[in-house]
């Protein structure tokens, strides 16, 4: 499937971008948290600009994936971004991949396969019908406000986790808006796309999510951010797919293997995020460029 191929390409680009952005965020003073000056510091770092370049590549691939497949299929595939990036980093830098990393890769891969096979998302429309966006945007806004407010009252990894989940929600919203906008391109051509409010809302949501992610990465460790970002994006995207696009996933007793799959992915993400290849640590010595 074209959608699966481009979803994998998106995951590879996003995973590499997250590692580069994390390295850049470590050099930003804590006093710049939740301020526009944070972006000013990051813009002066080539490693961060390289990460943004990969974000742009990922956005193009994601648009193609969402235009050709259900959001409940495309977005969960993105959980492979961290394991794929770490394996690629180890290969490029000619460093042996530690055994825990392989365990994390296995957990994420098995969890994704189990979750997708048991959920079996199908169906759905290409665009959002009627005024369904209104309650969705209101609910998203309230959820984001609660997360950000809670994050501002905490510190370090707790703040990083909450902001990571807020960023995940922003990225999931961006994907849903992007899919709806791309449907206008197919049905009404370039004019329909350029006159659709969803296109400009996609850009706004994407910038907001990026800002939240930078603050999450600056606030705490990748171990705190990555599981919330990865699982939050996948699960919230499935929610958008079901509620906005009418996609269907299995319920009933199928929820049990789905929950097991989610647990495996979470464990795998924690294991992988602790790796020096992900955190930018010095042991082993290689750097992700």
Residue 226 lies in a domain: yes
Q: Are 136 and 239 in contact (CB under 8 A)?
A: no
Which of the two residues, 233 and 82, has the higher pLDDT score? 233
In this structure, what are the phi and psi dihedrals at residue 286, rounded to the nearest 5 degrees? -65, 160
- Residue 182 inside a domain? The answer is yes
289 domain residue, yes or no: no
Instruction: Please choose, from the candidates 72, 103, 101, the residue with its C-alpha nearest in 3D space to the C-alpha of residue 88.
Output: 101
Q: CB under 8 Å to 25, separation ≥6 — which residues? A: 42, 48, 214, 217, 218
Q: Are 269 and 231 in contact (CB under 8 A)?
A: yes
Other beta carbons within 10 Å of 194: 13
Of 252, 163, 264, 263, the closest CA to residue 211 belongs to 163
Confidence of residue 138 (pLDDT cuts 50, 70, 90): very high
β-sheet bridge partners, residue 122: 248
Instruction: Determine which of 61-65, 84-88, 106-110, 222-226 has the lowest per-residue pLDDT on average.
Output: 84-88
- How many distinct structural domains can be found in the chain? 1
How confident is residue 282, by pLDDT bands cut at 50, 70 and 90? very low
Mean pLDDT of 145-163: 89
Residue 273's domain comprises 2-279
Whether 284 is in a domain gets the answer no
């Amino acid at each position: 499937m074209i959608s699966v191929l481009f979803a994998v390409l998106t995951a590879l680009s996003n995973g590499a971008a997250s590692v580069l952005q994390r390295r850049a965020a470590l050099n930003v003073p804590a006093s710049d948290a939740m301020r526009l000056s944070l972006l000013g510091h990051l813009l002066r770092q080539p490693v961060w600009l390289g990460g943004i370049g990969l974000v742009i590549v990922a956005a193009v691939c994601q648009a193609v994936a969402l235009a050709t497949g259900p959001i409940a299929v495309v977005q969960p595939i993105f959980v492979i971004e961290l394991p794929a990036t770490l394996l690629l980093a180890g290969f490029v830098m000619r460093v042996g991949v530690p055994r825990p990393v392989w365990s994390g890769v296995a957990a994420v891969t098995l969890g994704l396969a189990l979750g997708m096979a048991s959920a079996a998302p199908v169906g759905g429309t290409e665009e959002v019908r009627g005024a369904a966006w209104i309650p969705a945007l209101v609910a998203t806004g309230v959820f984001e406000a609660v997360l950000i407010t809670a994050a501002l009252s905490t510190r370090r990894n707790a703040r990083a986790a909450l902001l990571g989940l807020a960023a995940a929600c922003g990225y999931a919203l961006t994907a849903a808006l992007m899919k709806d906008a791309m449907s206008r391109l197919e049905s009404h051509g370039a004019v329909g796309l350029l006159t659709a409010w969803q296109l400009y809302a996609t850009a706004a949501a994407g910038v907001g999510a990026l800002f939240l992610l930078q603050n999450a990465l600056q606030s705490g460790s990748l171990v705190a951010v990555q599981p919330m970002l990865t699982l939050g994006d996948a699960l919230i995207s499935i929610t958008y797919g079901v509620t906005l696009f009418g996609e269907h996933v299995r319920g009933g007793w199928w929820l049990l293997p789905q929950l097991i799959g989610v647990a495996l992915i979470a464990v795998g993400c924690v294991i992988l995020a602790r790796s020096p290849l992900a955190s930018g640590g010095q042991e082993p010595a290689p750097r992700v460029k």
